[in-house]
Structure 1
Amino acid sequence: MRGLLKAFAITGVALTLGLSSASAQDSLGDVSLLAPAGAGGGWDAAARSLQQVLTSEKLVSSAQVLNVPGAGGTVGLAQFVSSAGNDPRQLFVAGITLVGAIISNGAPVDLTQVTPIARLTGDPLAIVVPASSDIQTVDDLLAKIKENVGGTIWAGGSAGGADHMLAAMITQAAGADPAAVNYVAYSGGGEALAAMLGNQVTAGISGYGEWQAQIESGDLRALAISYPEPIEGIDAQPLKAQGVDVELVNWRALFAGKDITPEQKAAIDAAIEKVVTSDAWKEILAARGWSDYYMSGDEFASYLTEETERVRGVLTSLGLAK
């Protein structure tokens, strides 16, 4: 919560980061933001949005985004863990899909090896079908799953990621075995969209923004969103509002090196507090269709622990974790 952050003199804290006295008052110096995925995806967009606001608000001297894709983000995480250490200028952007990838891949690194800074955004996932589909409602989709779970083909992002987890949760809500979900993981949103428009799959899941143009053009029909509450500007209603007890937020967050000092963390916390309360950040959220999902401090650290166990439970039901 924003209110949990205490005001402090940035000058003294910034000097502990090794900044010159001239730059210490307002800037964290030269920072890098590692996005563990290729350019154009959600983590990359979040990192570049942070880069933009940190720079425009003069909270850094400069900011560079580094893309290190592979294995659902675990390749980038491993690189970050090995290089960041006690360097407060190295930051890392990731989210729930990385939590799933760590578990399903049995990765040798995990998020206990970094310092949680803040949860930043929540991206509502949309459940869509082709406009020509005879599935008109969420109830129609549940009925189809119950009738033939294997014949219900889902399109989405990486295996074990947020899209896959939501498909499993909806399948379970329909009374079918989530481990039997017929899920096709596509490497990019364009491929998943082509499968949807080509009627090669039954339904698709992705961030609402990924499908928005096709929903508005009428090529895709949005049945629901996975967010717990209705979102202004989105006609599709939450699954919960339609009687399906499922919610999943595709959140994105910021992390720092494991060995930064409390003073260094406080300086980063203060900078991110200024980011999320800035008009520039609010404009980005509106433009990208992201929700303000800010949470920091011990509250975010506790949330991360609980979310990891929740994700592990979903992946276990899919047979992707033990």
Structure 2
Amino acid sequence: MRRDTFLKSMAALVASAGLPLSAQAAANLKMMIPANPGGGWDSTGRALGKALQDAGLVSSVQFENKGGAAGAIGLAQFVNASKGDPNSLLVMGAVMLGGIITGKPPVSLSQATPIARLTTEYNVFVLPANSPLKDMKDVVEQLKKDPGSVKWGGGSRGSTEHVAAAMIARNVGVDAAKINYVPFRGGGEATAAILGGNVTVGGSGYSEFAQYIASGKMRPIAVTSDQRLPGVNVPTLRELGIDVVIGNWRGVYAPPGITPEQQKALTDMVTAVFRNKAWIAALESNNWTPALLTGKAFADFVDQEFAMLRAIMVKSGMV
């Protein structure tokens, strides 16, 4: 279903009916955000927490940010400290899979309990406003002349913007192993580096850069979606002759050791929030594409994504 069609249908449901709750509300929900404040996981977790409270599904939400290692540090703390707790959720996504592949942390995502995929957000590549480069064509020309001279700034190693940069290099005939990628622990750090001109080109979810693009402090040059984002006049990589499409999906997991009944209650709770006004507003304002997937289908999707990312990263010399 198209993003705009989904949002309209959900808004109609909210307007016409109350929110049936099949999950028992958790008195106090703990939300582990395995990244520093200011990034996509942070905004996703806080938007979800607000919507859960707004819908009356939880009475309060306690957020904890624990950044580093593409989410692996927060994952380890979550797995070790929250075992058996049915009132805890971990924000995760494609970036975490890439980090696990490159970093090989001592804990595995398979130790936690899958709940739901929430959204997909496509990346945008930007230049600092005062960059001598004007567009993606200029970036590619410089990349071909001297791959190391183009500093790509973004999230942790293995993030979707890192993978996208490697895919761009391969697509234009540059050895992806030679790209100069500068990872940052959170969206705030990456933004500061771009605004300060410390990297050549920056990449992240569109919502993270939207205010800087609107103010003219960043110049958007391409998005990684298969078609232009709604209301965003930025060309896709495919429009520019670069056959690269990649989305940054995000979801939530529960701790290990919860019962099947508790897993179902959490899944029902997260599913119900998709009919809440606050969540629908967050999807729209952040340009997130709704991508709800639960149960075995979500678990299988994560396995498939892990295999796909690993194959791309191996071919690109990232592993």
> Scaled by the length of structure 2, what TM-score is found?
0.86
* Distance (whole Å) between structure 2 residues aligned to residue 30 and residue 201 of structure 1: 41
Spell out, residue by residue over 1:94-116, the C-alpha distance to the aligned partner (whole angstroms, 9 max, x if none). Answer: 11111111111111212111111
Of 104, 116, 122, the match for 2:102: 104
* Distance (whole Å) between structure 1 residues aligned to residue 32 and residue 167 of structure 2: 30
Corresponding residue for 2:266?
Answer: 268
Contact persistence 2:122–2:206 (CA under 8 A): yes
The secondary structure found in structure 1 opposite 2:148 is coil
Q: Structure 1 264/292 Cα, relative in aligned 2: closer, same or farther at 3 Å?
A: same
Q: What are the within-5 Å matches in structure 2 for residues 147-186 of structure 1?
A: 147-186=145-184
Contact persistence 1:10–1:267 (CA under 8 A): no
Of 292, 300, 303, the match for 1:294: 292
**Structure 2 spans left out of the alignment, 5+ residues:** 7-19
Larger Rg: 1
Corresponding residue for 1:223?
Answer: 221
Corresponding residue for 1:237?
Answer: 235
- What letter corresponds to residue 226 of structure 1 in structure 2? T
Q: Structure 1 197/265 Cα, relative in aligned 2: closer, same or farther at 3 Å?
A: closer
Corresponding residue for 1:56?
Answer: 54
* Distance (whole Å) between structure 1 residues aligned to residue 191 and residue 80 of structure 2: 36
Of 36, 54, 63, the match for 1:38: 36
Spell out, residue by residue over 1:249-291, the C-alpha distance to the aligned partner (whole angstroms, 9 max, x if none). Answer: 1221010123322222221121111111222211112222322
Corresponding residue for 2:70?
Answer: 72
Contact persistence 1:125–1:250 (CA under 8 A): yes
Deviates more, 1:234-243 or 1:272-281: 234-243
- What letter corresponds to residue 108 of structure 1 in structure 2? P
Corresponding residue for 1:201?
Answer: 199
What is the CA distance between 1:145 and its match in structure 2? 1.9
Deviates more, 1:131-140 or 1:241-250: 131-140
Of 127, 130, 133, the match for 1:129: 127
Contact persistence 2:151–2:180 (CA under 8 A): yes
RMSD of aligned residue pairs (Cα, Å):
2.4
Spell out, residue by residue over 1:179-205, the C-alpha distance to the aligned partner (whole angstroms, 9 max, x if none). Answer: 110112234445434443444433211
Deviates more, 1:297-306 or 1:186-195: 186-195
What is the CA distance between 1:208 and its match in structure 2? 1.4
* Distance (whole Å) between structure 1 residues aligned to residue 278 and residue 295 of structure 2: 23
Of 247, 250, 262, the match for 2:248: 250
* Distance (whole Å) between structure 1 residues aligned to residue 189 and residue 71 of structure 2: 19
- What letter corresponds to residue 84 of structure 2 in structure 1? N
* Distance (whole Å) between structure 1 residues aligned to residue 194 and residue 255 of structure 2: 40
* Distance (whole Å) between structure 2 residues aligned to residue 69 and residue 201 of structure 1: 21
Corresponding residue for 2:301?
Answer: 303
- What letter corresponds to residue 83 of structure 2 in structure 1? G
What is the CA distance between 1:134 and its match in structure 2? 5.0
Query: What count of residue pairs does the alignment treat as equivalent?
Result: 302
* Distance (whole Å) between structure 2 residues aligned to residue 218 and residue 59 of structure 1: 40
Contact persistence 2:40–2:208 (CA under 8 A): no
* Distance (whole Å) between structure 1 residues aligned to residue 81 and residue 192 of structure 2: 38
> Scaled by the length of structure 1, what TM-score is found?
0.85
**Structure 1 spans left out of the alignment, 5+ residues:** 3-8, 15-23
- What letter corresponds to residue 157 of structure 1 in structure 2? G
Deviates more, 1:147-156 or 1:98-107: 147-156
